Structure 1
Amino acid sequence: MKSRLTGLALSALALSASLASAQDYPAQPITLVNPYAAGGSADLIARTLAEGMTERLGQPVVVENRPGAATAIAATYVAQSDPDGYTLLIASSPTHFITPEIQPVQYEGLADFAPVAMIANVPNVLVVGSGAELSTLEELVAKAKESPDTLAFASVGNGSLPHLSSVLLMQETDTQMVHIPYGGAAPAVVDVLAGNVDLAFLNLPPLLPHIESGALVPLGVAAPERTPLLPDVATMAELGLGEFQMSTWFGVSAPANTPEDVVAKLDAAIADTLQDEELRQRLEASGVMMFYKPTDEFAGFLESESERLLKLLDAADVPRN
């Protein structure tokens, strides 16, 4: 009986300490780890979010860039950090599903994280070069059907969202095209502009200046709604391809077992930040669209998105680890 009472007392003390910790949170600066290099959309999102969260939480939220290994360096670091809410990850499809499937990593893509909130997405836009003499999706599909495996599409690597977007396009239109992977968006765009490849599904920001100049022709946006930066370009769904959504989304995740009260405080700070009109306008001007989902919805999204993207990896014949 004495042993049992001692155990209950220890459990009560642990619970009390946990509650006190959650009530006092945050008591020190928070690190928001970005798995991408400085200067891109993820970095803009992270720094804008950190600015708003700092104001709302009363502690500095510091962005730390840890690029490399297709996001695995940053994801591993956060997954192995203390689950106290002071080390967070800018989450994306590669951190949670794609990279753990196609290369060896030291973490579990879903099990080792606590979802906090989805924050934004960057539309992927289907483009062709102006010299391709294709001005609509219908014309592209007709040409692909007429001459299978002659049109080539660029991506930023095997298993990347631009790759899987084109795989989904081929599935939805019953066409076959040739995949040409590149080491990043910049060389892919260069070759579409030069006519060395016919098309690409890439993030909007690096495409926008070339679309505005007329060098690239946008055929469709793979997002839930049109982007304000291309108001005249229809979504893939509007073009008859059902719920064709392959945007590059970003969220915030914490290490698994982070206290629920801490996660709730973080979620509330993120939600309030994303209501800030000045911050929203700053992000939207760069091609980023707000796409907030609270903790529970974000967790459900991760489960369904994982299933969807793993099926596309199978269809793309991407080697698994």
Structure 2
Amino acid sequence: MFSINFNSKFLLALSACVVTATAAAAEFPTRDIRVIVPWPAGGGADAISRKISNIAEQDLSQSIYVENIAGAVTATGLIQMTNARPDGHTVGMLTYDSVITLPRGEMVPGYALDNMKLIARITSEPDAIVVAQQTGIETFEQLIERAKENPGEVRIGVAPKGSGPYLSAIQLEQLLDVDFNVITYAGSSSASSEALLSGELDAAISSLGDFSGIIESGDVRGVIELSSVQNETYPDVPTISSKGFDLQTGSFLVLAAPANTPDDVVATLESTFKAAYDTEEFQSWLAQIGVTADWLGSDGVNDWVDGLQTKMFGLMDDLNL
């Protein structure tokens, strides 16, 4: 008799838990959603995250807000994301450093992609070289000529060692037989932008979208994009393949949640952000800033990340990095 009562109570309790969990998922979101951007405000990742979040919240009963938590090459903010309650109300944006630089170097204890559930890739964009107006350099050829005439003197700004832009600079030196003065900057491309404007740098490597503001102001100009596909937003910036070189590098933006976030909550987040991604407002805005819309949903983003890591880690092995 006791056994029957115990089993009945257990089944009732289990049923209540299932009903409660199902109801919670059906009601998601029950409060504002926090999107952690692990870079300072002002960079390309920050701008894209804010734009798509502002559009996405229009289809929800709650607001979506961006919080910039920089540090440790994106690890500080993303560890906060993975340590948050896995209920979908805290998500984060991953960039190249989050997927390649940190895992490769095992730089920060507690940081691991295994602690995340990847939701979707939103954008991808090739790296490019921009030069400061005050240098007088107007073309890629002039930049390389200046570097060959003045070994180690042309100052080119990149993200920290191991980053995509850093690897681009090293590969360019090898491809072109030049010696740049490569200067690394912790933080987003906004740091390189400030250095270009102040005269601290002659050139910098990141995406054209990251430098769109100072390109439009005329303070810098794009001289080459490390791609084989012409950027329609910047038709005057040639691809490196058009110069006879094969070098394609770049960054991206991936939306992720804590690892144990329920699948149905992830599905809601994915569909909400995909709807925002598909809007004419978001697509036309990306085109204006020269960023490639490149959605890849939860059914493919993990395999894509695995393939990218295999490729980039192999390259780092070859360069002894």
Q: How many residues align?
A: 317
SS at structure 1 position matched to 2:253 = strand
Q: Is the 8 A contact 1:129 1:194 kept in 2?
A: no
2:34 is equivalent to residue 31 of structure 1:
yes
2:225 counterpart residue number: 221
Segment drifting more, 147-156 vs 26-35:
147-156
1:291 counterpart residue number: 294
Tell me the distance in 2 between the aligned counterparts of 1:37 and 1:60. 21
Out of 99, 104, 125, the residue aligned to residue 96 of structure 1 is: 99
2:268 is equivalent to residue 265 of structure 1:
yes
Tell me the distance in 2 between the aligned counterparts of 1:203 and 1:224. 14
Q: CA, structure 1 residues 261+144, in 2 after alignment: closer, same or farther (shift >3 Å)? A: same
| Paired letter, 1:254 | A
Tell me the distance in 2 between the aligned counterparts of 1:240 and 1:288. 24
1:124 counterpart residue number: 127
2:307 counterpart residue number: 304
Q: How does 1:36-75 map to 2 (within 5 A)?
A: 36-75=39-78
Give the % identical residues: 27
Give TM-score, length-normalised by structure 1: 0.78
Q: Is the 8 A contact 2:193 2:214 kept in 1?
A: no
Tell me the distance in 1 between the aligned counterparts of 2:206 and 2:200. 16
Q: Is the 8 A contact 2:127 2:225 kept in 1?
A: yes
2:252 is equivalent to residue 249 of structure 1:
yes
Tell me the distance in 2 between the aligned counterparts of 1:118 and 1:214. 31
Tell me the distance in 2 between the aligned counterparts of 1:3 and 1:261. 31
2:87 counterpart residue number: 84
| Paired letter, 1:297 | G
Tell me the distance in 2 between the aligned counterparts of 1:28 and 1:196. 45
Q: By how many angstroms is 1:238 displaced?
A: 4.2
1:107 counterpart residue number: 110
- C-alpha offsets along residues 182-238 of structure 1, whole Å, 9 cap, x if unaligned? 456466457667887664312325644655576645332235743343122233344
| Paired letter, 1:255 | P
- C-alpha offsets along residues 262-300 of structure 1, whole Å, 9 cap, x if unaligned? 111111111110121123333443444322211122222
Q: By how many angstroms is 1:22 displaced?
A: 2.7
Segment drifting more, 130-139 vs 274-283:
130-139
Q: By how many angstroms is 1:311 displaced?
A: 3.6
1:234 counterpart residue number: 238
Tell me the distance in 2 between the aligned counterparts of 1:189 and 1:27. 39
| Paired letter, 1:204 | L
Q: Is the 8 A contact 1:236 1:242 kept in 2?
A: yes
Give TM-score, length-normalised by structure 2: 0.78
